[in-house]
Structure 1
């Protein structure tokens, strides 16, 4: 079994989509996990207000953080092993079993009412599709004067041969419900059915 440490992965605050891109690369190249088992997951909704608990940007873990979107990685393990989530912004174990992350970060049962009011949708993108199609020139992190809202990563922006910026296509949960470029959008229930550890 692989041993993972957060410090082994590239991390830039507020650039979760790029953190996950680089994390998926490393899981494949350094930890020999087949791309067929690795997924990037964008989580957002029409209002761009989704709640997450156990995030390191919130000093009190009792309260949630409200993100416009968040991105995590999931590894679908082999038969008999639990599926795991990688979230470099979480205070939960790293990586975290899917069921544990679900009930602590996404859907704590004691807060079910407010979670339902801000229900997120889940765009699941196979890693190979993500590598082929994701692009960000980071312009969404510039203010109206062209200043960085948060310092960018120190490596070049991620782009494809055809595109330099398409992050909105991944964040948008109201179109491209199923796409050969941008993955598939799932409801919470369908997302759970897809990845929940049954035993």
Structure 2
């Protein structure tokens, strides 16, 4: 299997949604099929999303975004696991199944092509009430299209509505990962 090096791709701490947008573009330019790339957005209705094997082992984010490439696995810039990591292993290590309800993690799967066409990052989630960035912004311009039907990050990470595009992580593994 080809080796991937995280440092070969655009990355800005605290901007996983943009990092993954750029990673998908880079992989496509390297010849990896766009139709086999999927954006996975992890969160829950309370936006308390524990992820193991991250940084100091456990981090609780409001959301997290990774790239799933069929047959290669999960590309996660923040994991302590391999890059990419075999999907079944990634889910088993990152999302323990015995968590209290408020910490159960769900996933929204978005085709990378759709994400590239519609995702708009206004970066408002990274501003304090006075409009000052709470973390350094990426060096690149914000990702925003001049098209209709843009989807803001806040819409992708809104898991408060019970809709069919949001499923539990264990169900995702059963439906999309395990043969």
TM-score by length of 1: 0.83
Change (3 A) 1:189 1:87: same
2:171 aligned residue: 190
Q: 1:159·1:165 contact (CA, 8 Å) conserved in 2?
A: no
Change (3 A) 1:176 1:26: farther
Distance 1:195 1:10 in 2: 27
Q: 2:48·2:102 contact (CA, 8 Å) conserved in 1?
A: no
1:80 aligned residue: none
Alignment of structure 1 residues 145-160 onto 2, 5 Å: 145-160=130-145
**Unmatched runs of 5 consecutive residues or more in structure 2:** none
Instruction: Report deviation, 1:185.
Output: 1.8
1:181 aligned residue: none
Distance 2:69 2:91 in 1: 14
Instruction: Report deviation, 1:175.
Output: 3.3
More strand by share: 2
Distance 1:104 1:22 in 2: 25
Change (3 A) 1:4 1:100: same
1:74 aligned residue: 68
Alignment of structure 1 residues 12-31 onto 2, 5 Å: 12-30=12-30
Distance 2:175 2:18 in 1: 24
**Unmatched runs of 5 consecutive residues or more in structure 1:** 78-82, 179-183
Deviations 1:38-58 (A, max 9, x none): 0011100001001101112x2
Instruction: Report deviation, 1:160.
Output: 1.6
2:48 aligned residue: 49
1:101 aligned residue: 90
Aligned length: 178
What stretches of structure 1 move > 6 A for 4+ residues in a row?
Answer: none
